[in-house]
Amino acid sequence: MIPIYESDVVIVGAGLAGLAAARELVKSGKKVTVLTKLHPLRSHSGAAQGGVNAALSEDDDVELHMFDTIKGSDYLADQDAVELMCSKAPETIRWIEHLGCVFSRREDGRIAQRPFGGQSRPRACFSKDRTGLVMLNAIYEQCVKEGVNILDEWYVADLLYDGNKAYGVVAYNLRDTTPAIFNAKAVMFATGGYARAFKINSNAHANTGDGLSIFARKGLPLEDMEFVQFHPTGLAGSGILMSEAARGEGGHLLNSEGERFMKKYAPEKMELAPRDVVSRAIMKEILEGRGAKEDKFAVYLDLTHLGEEKIKERLPELRDLALTFLGRDMAKEPILISATAHYSMGGIPVDINGHVKKSPNELTEGLYAAGECACVSVHGANRLGANSLLEALFFGRWVGWQINKDLDSLSLKEAKKEDADFMLNEVEGILNSNGSERVANIREELQEMMTTKVGVFREEKTLLEAKEEIKNLRERFKNIKLDDKSKTYNTDLQEAIELGHMLDYSAFIIEGALNRKESRGAHFREDYPKRDDENYLKHTYAYMDENGEVKVEYGDVKITKFEPQERKY
Ligand SMILES: Cc1cc2nc3c(=O)[nH]c(=O)nc-3n(C[C@H](O)[C@H](O)[C@H](O)COP(=O)(O)OP(=O)(O)OC[C@H]3O[C@@H](n4cnc5c(N)ncnc54)[C@H](O)[C@@H]3O)c2cc1C
């Protein structure tokens, strides 16, 4: 008999967004279950290095933070959501500090802030270069203290949703593949990002976008999926992140001729132009043959002029990473970097209070999302550095409050044991599959294809090829074979399910990119190099039908204070 557990709220994901919501709900006396496939402290939030934005200093203000964010988004962000987030940022920083997050300080004892790309003021609060980990530890400890019920190493594979209302999830225990139904009045997804679909990426292995595909398979839309952020500075070869803090602290980008090439692309902001601008500049240098001497697919990031003391004090993790994975000491010589798939601006469409949308103007009931898996949309077509830790923490907490309010009017729709059938069939189907295809091969081909055809530069011809290839890969996926058929910590099984998710949401990225015949923020079409506000100042909403075909429609962008202008740096 499959067990059915009841709570008021089920939260999927134990990164900053999931835990912030859980803590607030439990504080208000609600019964909450948090499910996570990782130990909470292994969530990708813990890998964030650079910082978290808030207009704290004397010469900064909320309106400026808001403007920078909207300009950075290439005017696709919803301005009401941006205003909410930026105005609550200082309070959010004080909150997490009071919960135990230790920030680096200025001489006078106030919280130190470093410059980040596209920001008019130094605005990123940080804990050396391990900001995400320090914040995650603080919120996790608070959750433990409050007695939040966290079930780690549980893999959520399905959502209980009747076409209008959500009433739980179906999951299995990774230890022994035991299934269970988690029935609840409200369900929140905080499953994080999904850049693992790309070969060169900065994301944790777990960032396979499960939450998005689970929603898409229910016929729910995904928003703005074509906007994938390529971070300018991933370590050459691996894509492991060298945080923007490296440029924030004064790092220079150089080509094979020793030229600080950013002066050609963003003469004013130079290395601290927004990520889309810097990534394209790096890729252009590489494509035009000015890549590094040691590796023509990379350029140099030079930090040597900062001196060993400052690097040790401000960037100790980065130095370690470059030493371990590149064998280079950044205090002594320039390191090699190139653009890496990093962050997903798009995701599960939600309104400003985290309610999941079932179309541009209709909401579901009892279903919520926050953090990187959601699209609220505060980042529009391009996120500014240090705005997503803020998004995860602030909206996680905010949506927790919203759920707490909504619970008064939400009733429990009882789950039945047949509700687990979809997941049980999926698991058994994969375990018993006896085809000829290898999961790892299909994944590698997918990642290679997404990087070369749906990467920094896109055009119709290669996008059409990508669409065809994904169809083939999805067909081949039906013919896989696993070697491990056991039920104990079967990572083969998990990776197969995750690959299914990656294939599904990649189809959304490709379809969104094909249909958006303009260049905006992180989405750059060589065949349509200009932004086209007349036709495309709108959000993409895409839906998948039973045959796996993805269809696109568009919804409005909320513009309140700032009319779109040309974006120059
Ligand atoms: C290397 C790196 C550095 C970064 N640096 C910065 C920075 O300096 N500043 C900044 O603002 N942003 C930064 N970001 C982005 C930022 O860290 C993330 O956007 C943010 O932390 C996401 O938080 P989250 O809570 O939404 O998701 P995550 O922290 O990714 O958590 C996702 C959770 O979902 C769970 N989960 C997923 N799928 C399932 C499933 N099927 N079943 C059960 N559980 C599941 C996972 O176990 C995990 O607990 C960085 C990102 C990376 C990759």
Atom of ligand 1 nearest to the CA of 342: 53
What is the DSSP pairing of strand 154-161 with strand 166-173?
A: antiparallel
How wide is the angle at C-alpha 224 spanned by C-alphas 221 and 225, nearest 5°? Answer: 85
pLDDT 10s digits, 114-151? 999 999 999 999 999 999 999 999 999 999 999 999 99
Mean pLDDT of 233-251: 94
Mean pLDDT of 195-211: 96
**Greater confidence, 568 or 355?**
355
Average pLDDT over residues 436-451: 97
Q: Which residue among 249, 388, 397 has the greatest number of ligand 1 atoms within 8 angstroms of its CB, and so is best to mutate?
A: 388
Mutate which of 45, 150, 212, 391 to test ligand 1's pocket (most atoms within 8 Å of Cβ)?
Answer: 45
Mean pLDDT of 441-465: 97
Question: What are the residues whose beta carbons fall under 8 Å from the beta carbon of 107, sequence distance 6 or more?
Answer: none
For range 382-389, the mean pLDDT: 96
% of the chain with per-residue pLDDT over 70? 100
Tell me the β-bridge partners of 254. Answer: 300
Mean pLDDT of all residues in the chain?
A: 97
How remote is the CA of residue 190 from the centroid of ligand 1, in Å? Answer: 9
pLDDT for 401: 98
> What is the predicted pLDDT for the residue at 390?
98
Find the mean pLDDT for residues 48-56.
96
Give residues (CB < 6 A) around ligand 1: 12-18, 35-38, 40, 43-45, 47-52, 131-132, 155-156, 190-193, 202-203, 206, 210-211, 241, 243, 343, 371-373, 386-389, 392
Q: Are 52 and 389 in contact, with CB atoms under 8 Å apart? A: yes
Nearest to 404 by CA among 27, 18, 16, 13: 27
What contacts 441, CB < 8 A, 6 or more positions away? Answer: none
Task: Pick from 127, 139, 175, 191 the residue to mutate for probing ligand 1's pocket: most ligand atoms within 8 Å of its CB.
Answer: 191
In total, the chain counts a number of residues equal to 569
Nearest CA to ligand 1 atom 33: 13
Give the active site residues: 275
Cα–Cα distance, 71 to 382 (Å, whole number): 9
Atom number of ligand 1 nearest to Cα 498: 41
User: Would you state the structure tokens that stand for residue 188, as one six-digit string?
Assistant: 């929140």
- Which CA distances in Å does 134 have to 152, 323, 394? 20, 23, 16
Please give the share of the chain, as a percent, with pLDDT higher than 90. Answer: 99
Using CA atoms, how far apart are residues 81 and 66, in angstroms rounded to an integer?
Answer: 10
The closest-lying atom of ligand 1 relative to the alpha carbon of residue 373 is 26
- Classify residue 530 as exposed, middle or buried by CB count within 10 Å of its CB (0-12, 13-18, 19+): exposed
Angstrom distance (rounded) from CA 432 to CA 69: 49
pLDDT at 281 over 90: yes
What's the gap in Å between 25 CA and the centre of ligand 1? Answer: 20
CB half-sphere exposure, 238, CA atoms < 13 A: 14
**What is the pLDDT, as a whole number, of residue 1?**
87
CA–centroid distance, residue 508 to ligand 1 (Å): 20
Pull the structure tokens for residue 467.
Answer: 């669409």
Residue nearest to atom 51 of ligand 1 (CA): 48
Could you tell me which residues come within 8 angstroms of residue 417 by beta carbon, excluding any fewer than 6 positions away?
A: 1, 2, 4, 181
pTM of the model: 0.97
- Residue 268 CB contacts under 8 Å (≥ 6 apart), including other chains: 569
Ligand 1 mean position, distance from CA 568 (Å): 30
For residue 541, the model assigns a pLDDT of 98
Question: What pLDDT shows up at residue 278?
Answer: 96
DSSP string, 481-498: B-S---SSS-HHHHHHHH
* Residue whose entry in the numeric block shows the structure tokens 């303009």: 518
